[in-house]
Structure formats: C-alpha cells, structure tokens
Amino acid sequence: MKKIAVLHGPNLDRLGRRQPEIYGSDTLADLERLMRAEARRLGLTLTFFQSAHEGALIDRIHALTDRGIDGFIVNFGAYSHTSIALRDALAAAGLPAVEVHISDIKRREKFRRTSMTAGACVALISGQGFPGYLQALRRLAGA
C-alpha cells in the first residue's frame, strides 16, 4: 500500500473562514475526510501535516522521506511562490510530488502566478478546488 504525505503551508488551517469567495466554505478537516475516502478507494494510506513555519515543513519532508513515504501532495500556500528551500527539500527527497492550489494561481495577483516549488513536482494542479487534491491522489496512485 503506497503511503502519501499531504503537506499544507500557512493559512490553510483557516480554510472555511479565510476568503471563502476564493477558497470556499469547507474546512481543512473537510478536505482531509474527502481525501481519506478517495485514498481508501485507491488503496493508499495518507498522513497529513500543516504548519505556518517553513522550517517545520522542510523538517517534515526530510523525516517522511527517511521513513519511507512514497510520495507527496503539497500546497505550501504563499511559500509556493517564494521558497527555494522547500523546492530543494522536495527535490532532494527524490520522490514524486504533486503541487495543488485550490484557486487558479495563474488568475491571481501577479506575485502568485509563479510557483517556485512546482519545479520539484511531477505535476501542478491549480484552480480545481478540493477536487484537485483527488486528482493528485489518482496521479500518485498510478505513479
């Protein structure tokens, strides 16, 4: 059974309260329930982690890689647009990763249109809402 880690960055713990006109009214807990159901269907095991701290996310990537995780689904929030360190951590892991953004980053503010971390991923899914995470699970199930 493949083990997939889902990593969320800053402000994703605020889903359901933060800018519902952009991110919707469902919460991070709702997303986790949705993903767990799809993972069961696909025969995957999931682990979740959310932090507002870049270093904590990097430490988690390293620890999960050392423990034998099979892949990552990441939404680093604003760090996606700025963090070479997170990109390097994913690249060093040498594992398939899919970056997901709930909103379409290409239609957002200019500073959000480029993802620094996507280059270390096998795919970028943007603007599909929560179903984008399910697409990412299906992609990793076949990877």
Kindly name the residue from 8, 79, 81, 101 that is annotated as catalytic: 101
* Per-residue tokens: 29: 């807990």
* Helix, strand, coil share of the chain (percent; to 5): 50, 20, 30
| Residue 23 annotated to the active site | yes
Catalytic residue among 23, 79, 81, 133, which? 23
Active-site residue flag, 8:
no
Contact between 119 and 99 (Cβ < 8 Å): no
Q: Could you identify the residue written with the tokens 């270093």? A: 55
Active site (catalytic) residues: 23, 101
